[in-house]
Amino acid sequence: MIGRVLWQEFFNNRDWPVASAVAIIMLLLLIVPIMWFHKHQQKSVGGARMNNLPVVRSPWRILILVLGFTFLYAPMLMLVIYSFNSSKLVTVWAGWSTRWYGELFRDSAMMSAVGLSLTIAACAATMAVVLGTIAAVVMVRFGRFRGANGFAFMITAPLVMPDVITGLSLLLLFVALGHAIGWPSDRGMLTIWLAHVTFCTAYVAVVIASRLRELDRSIEEAAMDLGAAPLKVFFVITLPMIMPAVISGWLLAFTLSLDDLVIASFVSGPGATTLPMLVFSSVRMGVNPEINALATLILGVVGIVGFIAWYLMARAEKQRIRDIQRARRG
């Protein structure tokens, strides 16, 4: 694979020119379809609505649905079950035990990696939401300006950019900045955070932009006609209406940052080992039962947070619909 070739040339052979040349070729091959997509995306809008699509009434639909969910969630269920296995061998069941949860909390390296990853993910998601919201507003509300297509292209390009190219380019950038201005003096938590903000912003911008396009602008225009400043209109009217998308974008960015391995491997330095990096290095030497316990805890936390976010957004959406209906009746 191309990614393995880049990794081999860059880290093992230390042949930076060859790795950079391969990355540039891959980048050029990606630019053409991305530009074509941005040029023709307006033409693809206005097709058949999802509500008008025919419903497939095949007797196999339930079976296909069950098989799909089984394929998705059966591995997670097995992971949770084997996290309570008392045996050191991951694939051999020896009885129920919470031994590996205790071993996990006593593993200082694992806990340090978890803390670092959670900190970076939370900070990166927060900054990505701020930058992504600004970018989405510019693309949707101020889309008719010179260079608008180029701006949208630059914002959404990280969505289809291979992680190995993003990581390599950011590493070269940090090295060049270090030689030119002395910053960053060393690679670590800061460089990982900057790298994660770079690609997470693109995802957040797309999520929020799709929500902005669905809003009724007459509400904002009515507020401005009544004398409200544009900034006040955004924070009082627009932001509450797009808050479900903002929360979804934050959760998506948090998950992407927490899950990243390739980009963090490029831009990290000594003493800055994230959780995916530690897990990957451990799995290469053999699966540690502590990893099952850690993955189970992560699944539980993510499930609880996701359910709470879904519940709050659903309740806010129902309240918004009731307010609109009440306003129309009044």
Question: 187-233 pLDDT, tens per residue?
Answer: 899 999 999 999 999 999 999 999 999 888 888 888 888 888 989 99
8 A C-beta contact, residue 174 and residue 99: no
Percent of the chain topping pLDDT 70? 84
Q: Does some domain include residue 24?
A: yes
223 CB contacts (<8 Å, ≥6 apart)? 232, 233, 236, 237
User: What pLDDT does residue 10 have?
Assistant: 66
User: d(Cα 138, Cα 64) in Å, to the nearest integer?
Assistant: 42
Summarize the confidence of residues 240-256 as an average pLDDT.
91
Better pLDDT: 174 or 146: 174
Q: If pLDDT is split at 50, 70 and 90, which confidence band does 93 have?
A: confident
- Are 26 and 144 within one domain? no
- Are 143 and 267 within one domain? yes
- Are 202 and 296 within one domain? yes
The radius of gyration of the chain's CA atoms, rounded to the nearest angstrom, is: 24
User: d(Cα 18, Cα 292) in Å, to the nearest integer?
Assistant: 39
Distances (CA, A) of 321 to 221, 233, 310, 328, 330: 20, 20, 16, 11, 14
Tell me: pLDDT of 185 over 70. yes
- Are 238 and 324 within one domain? yes
Domain count, the chain: 2
First to last CA, the chain: 63
Summarize the confidence of residues 47-51 as an average pLDDT.
48
- Are 291 and 168 within one domain? yes
Residue 5 tokens, joined: 């070739």
Letter string b/e over residues 264-297, b meaning 16 or more CB atoms within 10 A of that residue's CB: bbbbbeeebbbbbbbbeeeeeeeebbbbbbbbbb
Q: Does some domain include residue 271?
A: yes
Q: Does some domain include residue 103?
A: no
- pTM (2 decimals)? 0.82
Summarize the confidence of residues 161-175 as an average pLDDT.
87
* CATH number where 124 lies: 1.10.3720.10
Q: The domain containing residue 176 runs over which residues?
A: 108-329
Residue 67 tokens, joined: 């098989």
Q: Does some domain include residue 95?
A: no
| Highest-pLDDT range among 23-32, 51-60, 183-192 | 183-192
